[in-house]
A and B are shown apart, each in its own frame.
Chain A
Amino acid sequence: MKYKLPIHCPSCETDLKVTKLSCENCNTAVSGTFELPMLLKLTQEEQDFILQFFLYSGSLKQMAQQMNISYPTVRNKLDDIIENIKKLQSE
């Protein structure tokens, strides 16, 4: 089962930070306070969309055909993600 990465605090909704990274092989651990990368702050659906967009070399037309949805629907999703990223950047 693939676990969903939580990005907001379940208690107060504040953005979560990475405080520990560890090596599965030798158990070395690094502690600190790190920002989550921008892409990880997006929803899983948005991340999947960006991955698909990348795999189709940025062709919205091809994406629309493969996903069986119309071109404007794909473009609207992309526009919404761009808007969301801009909002995250300005925060």
Chain B
Amino acid sequence: MKKKLKQPFETLQEKQLLTIGTLFLLIFSFIAYYTNTRFDGVIDMHHTANVLIHQPLLDNIVNTLCLGACLFGLAYFVNHKTRWIDILAIALICRIPIYFGAIFNINDISLTTGKHLIENLSTPTAMFDLPAINLIVLILESIYILAALVLFCILLYKGFKTATNARKLSHSLLLIPIVILAEIISKALVFLY
């Protein structure tokens, strides 16, 4: 079990990875609707008002497909034998840590904090007008999001290495512009609906 958690792309079959990834995508799209969260980019997540039920689900589908398509372009360049199904599994699995960020906006707590801070940008001491719980959630969310981004990168790197058998450092470094490209494309598409 430990090995499967540490090395999911080496030990789990593609069907298992796809099932786990899809389940998380569906569950957290639903949770995101209740916590007013939009995933408006491959590595983006924002709490906003009046989220419609289809928006988080479409966000996650668009993000996963954009990341998958961009990754597959690089994977095909690195190794022609790379399969689309393995790349799609990576795109689904590596975004799971980001989904959990939606939980931090239960009862719009993060949204309220964010609004209050933006409205009082010129008076930093106004942040102490907020209840302590809001500030605690803000700190916890900030720490979690950083950890989620690191985990996203680790999963992406490990998955890509397994799917393509990439050994050169340059191939791994190319993941950075590829993720940025996927982020730009997904961001543009998310604003269409």
Q: A residues touching B (Cβ–Cβ < 8 Å)?
A: 64-65, 68-73, 75-76, 79-80
Q: A72–B11 contact, CB under 8 A? A: no
- B-side contacts of A71, CB under 8 Å: 13-14, 83, 86
What are the interface flags for B80-98 relative to A under an 8 Å C-beta threshold, 1 for contact and 0 otherwise?
0111001000000000000
What are the interface flags for B132-171 relative to A under an 8 Å C-beta threshold, 1 for contact and 0 otherwise?
0000000000000000000000000000001111000000
Does B49 sit within 8 A of A, measured CB to CB? no
> A71–B83 Cα gap in the complex (Å)?
10
Question: Chain B at the A interface: mostly helix, strand, loop or mixed?
Answer: helix
Interface size bracket, B side: 10 to 19
Smallest Cβ-Cβ distance to A64: which chain B residue: B13
Question: Chain A at the B interface: mostly helix, strand, loop or mixed?
Answer: helix
Starting from the known contacts A72-B162, A75-B165, A80-B165, 17 additional A-B residue pairs (CB-CB under 8 Å) come to: A68-B11, A69-B10, A70-B12, A70-B13, A70-B17, A71-B14, A72-B82, A72-B86, A72-B163, A72-B164, A73-B9, A73-B11, A73-B162, A75-B81, A76-B162, A76-B165, A79-B81
What is the distance, in angstroms, from B50's C-beta to the closest C-beta of chain A?
42
B4-27 contacts to A, CB under 8 A, are 9-14, 17
Q: A65–B13 contact, CB under 8 A? A: yes
Q: A69–B11 contact, CB under 8 A? A: yes
Smallest Cβ-Cβ distance to A65: which chain B residue: B13
Q: B10–A70 contact, CB under 8 A? A: yes
- B-side contacts of A68, CB under 8 Å: 11
9 closest Cβ pairs, A-B complex: A76-B165, A73-B10, A72-B163, A72-B162, A72-B86, A70-B10, A79-B165, A69-B11, A69-B10
Interchain CB contact (< 8 A) of A70 among B14, B81, B82, B164: B14
What is the distance, in angstroms, from A45's C-beta to the closest C-beta of chain B?
16
- B-side contacts of A70, CB under 8 Å: 9-14, 17, 86, 162
